[in-house]
């Protein structure tokens, strides 16, 4: 009986995972780079779907593409001119961290990402 209750509580906790909708701010740092690049995201979550926009500030935002939420894992893409940004992130409480792969025709870079919820 205790095992059944534990399983129910575990499943209920997963079903009630935090909604990512809102404004998130932080930065990414390219591997080998010497500065942090600001990031601002406005997420809208509906079930396992993530939409919204992101960019360096409120005045420069790009639409989120292929946004998915699977438990505490978040994946999405943003395209800016010749660059495609592929995010692979994890949530913990009010923080999101993970990796970013930046791809262009002639270049490929990786970065670490750290975001905090502000609204």
| Other C-beta atoms lying within 10 Å of the C-beta of residue 16 | 8
Find all residues with CB under 8 Å of 95, minimum gap 6, and list them: 114, 115, 116, 117
Q: What is the pLDDT of residue 18?
A: 77
Answer yes or no: is pLDDT of 11 > 80: no
Q: What is the pLDDT of residue 119?
A: 67
pTM for the whole structure: 0.83
CATH 2.40.50.700 fits 20-117, yes or no: no
Given pLDDT bands bounded at 50, 70 and 90, which one contains residue 5?
Answer: very low
Which whole-number Å values give the CA distances from 21 to 50, 51, 69, 119, in the listed order? 8, 9, 11, 9
∠ Cα 68 74 79 (to 5°): 75
So where are the chain's domains? 20-117
Residue-level pLDDT at 88: 98
């Amino acid at each position: 009986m205790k095992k059944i209750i534990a399983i129910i509580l575990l499943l209920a906790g997963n079903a009630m995972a935090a909604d990512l909708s809102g404004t998130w701010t932080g930065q990414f740092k390219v591997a080998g780079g010497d500065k942090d690049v600001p990031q601002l995201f406005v997420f809208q979550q509906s079930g396992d779907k993530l939409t919204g926009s992101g960019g360096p500030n409120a005045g420069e935002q790009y639409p989120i593409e292929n946004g998915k939420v699977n438990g505490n894992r978040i994946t999405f893409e943003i395209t800016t001119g010749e660059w495609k940004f592929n995010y692979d992130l994890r949530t913990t409480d009010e923080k999101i961290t993970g990796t970013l792969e930046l791809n262009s025709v002639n270049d490929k870079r990786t970065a670490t990402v750290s975001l905090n919820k502000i609204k």
